[in-house]
Structure 1
Amino acid sequence: MTLPMRRRPGPFAEPLADFDTFFDRMSRMLESAPSPSAGELPWAPLADLHETDDAYIVTVELPGVAADDIDVALADRELTVTAAYGEREETGVLRRGTRRTGRCEYRTLLPTEVRGDDITAGLSDGVLRVTVPKAKTATPRHIEITTGE
């Protein structure tokens, strides 16, 4: 007859103990981090980035935002679009609100050098379209080899 054997505690006795420890540490770290109050952090609007042969085209959905409330900036190769959604004043009691308000921000790092002076932006039907022309790259040229004669 075989008797049950008592296992000795060892490093493999609790395979998930390391995960529990990790999650406990992460929870404590996140709880100790300063939490911003509601509305301080910008949220990201829906956006697309397309590349053509000579430009990058960024389209950002900003329904209900006036052109005066939108800012487009380029620093080095980082394009930033910020906008402010204001709260609409309505009469009566708000029973349910799901529309976002506050500041939104879209950032993207463009893969190549661009011509910052030639950027165009237009707003139509709540969609912002930013066209960023690419910089002209050096064209390869043939170099003739001469002999020492």
Structure 2
Amino acid sequence: MTLTRWNPARDLLDVAEEMNHFMNNLFGDTARETSFYKGTWTPAVDISEDKDNFYLNVELPGMKKEDVKVSYEDGILTIKGEKKSEREEKDVNFHRVERTFGMFERSFRVPNKIVEDKIDAKFENGVLTITLPKAEEAKPKEIEVKVS
């Protein structure tokens, strides 16, 4: 007899898979075309900083730079865009659709003063990199400790 460790998450995933199968059988592929499935999505973002800049790296696979807009106003950086579905085939039945499509919008409050006219955004290999240069007053200052 083989002992198998019980994983409660596996049962939940099995139920979700059965519900997806049921909905697809009931409504066909049109269930994926409803606004419930198209809804918004949230791209992954890494935020870092060094002494001179803040950096945001945003994963946007399958998108083009024309599909992305970046704005900065009143201390808030906003990134928005739309990833359009590539599905054109009308006579194809999909068994699984896991890629995400639709509109997204993310906003971040920038905690320090930055040099607005030097903000830079580059898009390469599906990654948007935004550089926000810190203003001089926001950069760390070294204070000399005097011995008395």
* Percent of aligned pairs sharing the same letter: 32
**SS of corresponding position for 1:79:** strand
2:75 is matched with which residue? 77
Q: What is the SS of the residue equivalent to 1:137?
A: helix
Q: TM-score, normalised by structure 1?
A: 0.63
User: Gapped runs of 5+ residues in structure 1?
Assistant: 1-36, 141-149
In the other structure, the counterpart of 1:89 is 87
SS in 1 for 2:105: strand
1:95 alignment partner AA? H
In the other structure, the counterpart of 2:26 is: none
Q: CA deviation at 1:128?
A: 0.4
C-alpha change, 1:93 and 1:47, in structure 2 (3 Å) is same
Q: Deviations over 1:58-100 (max 9, x none)?
A: 0000001010000001011111111201011243222211111
Residue 50 (structure 1) shift:
0.5
Q: Specify the structure having the higher radius of gyration (Cα).
A: 1
What's 1:62 paired with? 60
Q: Alignment RMSD, CA only? A: 2.2
**Contact preservation (8 Å) 1:39, 1:102:** no
Name 1:121's counterpart in structure 2. 121
Cα gap change, 1:41/1:73 in structure 2, threshold over 3 Å: closer, same or farther? farther
Bigger shift: 84-93 or 109-118? 84-93
Structure in which a larger fraction of residues adopt helix: 2
The answer as to 2:49 corresponding to 1:51 is yes
Counterpart-to-counterpart distance in 2, 1:50 and 1:59:
9
Alignment pair present for 1:135 and 2:98: no
Q: Report how many residues are paired.
A: 104
TM-score, with length taken from structure 2: 0.63
Tell me the distance in 1 between the aligned counterparts of 2:37 and 2:70. 21
User: Structure 2: which 5+ residue stretches go unaligned?
Assistant: 1-34, 142-148
The one-letter code matched in structure 2 to 1:53 is K
Instruction: Write out per-residue CA displacement over residues 24-50 of structure 1, whole angstroms, 9 at most, x where no aligned residue.
Output: xxxxxxxxxxxxx53685332100110
